[in-house]
Amino acid sequence: MGRKYRYILHWDFMSVEDYDIIETLVNSFSELTFIWNRYPSAQGDGVHVWATIPTRNPATPGNQTTGFYSEVNLELLEVESRI
């Protein structure tokens, strides 16, 4: 039985431009390196993760190119087990 950490990052208001960048990384279907000093397990060289965007809800009215923001969750699951 293995143990992997899952990190959930949440934005209340993410612009279309920022979402497109994250979506491109997620859709590359490759391992990503997650580094964030807030999590001791992700400090230093970081950890290899798989990324998914399980939810994206409109936070503001508008069209997809101007003045549109979304509430977004980004989930990162470690590739390697910690055991």
What confidence tens digit (pLDDT) does each residue in 29-67 have? 899 998 887 777 667 788 899 999 988 887 666 655 666
pTM: 0.78
Q: C-alpha distances in angstroms, 53 versus 20, 41, 45?
A: 12, 21, 24
